[in-house]
Amino acid sequence: MNGEASAGVLELVPPEAFPARHSRPRWSAPHATLDLMPLLWRASNCVCLVAAVACSLLVTVSAQQSPRGGYSTISPSVVETAFTHEESGSWILDLLVLWRGDPGWFLAGGANGTTESGGYGRPTVMHNRHADVDFDVILDAAARVADVAGTKINLDEVNVVLVDGMPHGLKIVGTRRVNNRIERPPIGLHAVYRASRELDNFLRCDVTGGNPMLESFRASCTWGPPK
């Protein structure tokens, strides 16, 4: 054989005799993939938290800037529209409108009533209808203005409006600014009348025009002696 491989005999060749293959270096890591789920989860939580805080602040601000309206007959000649809101445990009088006419004027006509709409950041609207006449009050607490039967009122200067001539010849005959911190309505409004002889006289509590149906209003129109 003289050192040559014989026919039909396989000769084993060591691996290192083959050319080196192009392979990934041992220090090279596979292509890294970024797991976005934890980041998305944290981001969504932050968005939800910010939204919750914003909604809470919006509700708080809206609650402070959205007075509630009330409408009632307080004397034989006068009905009142009052807007109040609660702030830090105290009640604030935003606007008081006194509508005066002849005794019993609010009993005449067909359908009578009042409705309230708006609030929560929007102007509060009190729609009143008596003696077949509509007379509305629109109060925009954010802008600090009100519309009383078509007349603009600056709420920084006025919180009491006196209207006479109801229902067909209504006109504003006076405006006032009184202490706006009151007790819980409607009791808190009684103190407003007691504190002002002018307002008390405006109510005409003793004038019934001889109408027995108005006696109950006369009897309830007792606020105590004005100061």
For 178-214, how does the pLDDT look when each residue is reduced to its tens digit (9 = 90+)? 999 999 887 788 889 888 889 989 999 989 888 888 9
Domains identified in the chain, total number: 1
User: Is the residue at 41 inside a domain?
Assistant: no
pLDDT band at 101 (very low <50, low <70, confident <90, very high): very high
89 falls within a domain: yes
Query: What is the spatial distance between Cα 51 and Cα 54, in angstroms, rounded to a whole number?
Result: 5
Cα separation values, 187 from 201, 218, 224, Å: 19, 17, 13
What pLDDT does residue 63 have?
42
Query: Looking at per-residue confidence, does 130 or 32 come out higher?
Result: 130
Cα–Cα distance measured from residue 113 to residue 72, given in angstroms and rounded to the nearest whole number: 10
Q: What's the pLDDT band for 69 if we cut at 50, 70, 90? A: confident
Within a domain: residue 48? Answer: no
- Which residues lie below 8 Å from residue 18, measured CB to CB, with a gap of 6+? none
- What is the extent of the structural domain holding 193? 68-220
Residue 2 maps to a domain: no
Please check whether residue 4 lies inside any domain of the structure: no
Confidence of residue 156 (pLDDT cuts 50, 70, 90): very high
Q: Is residue 45 part of a domain?
A: no
Q: Is residue 184 part of a domain?
A: yes
- Kindly indicate the confidence band of residue 40, based on its pLDDT and cuts at 50, 70 and 90: low
The two structure tokens encoding residue 136: 């509305």
Under 8 Å between Cβ of 177 and 158: yes
Q: Per the domain annotation, does 207 fall within a domain? A: yes
Helices (H) and strands (E) in the chain, counts: 4, 11
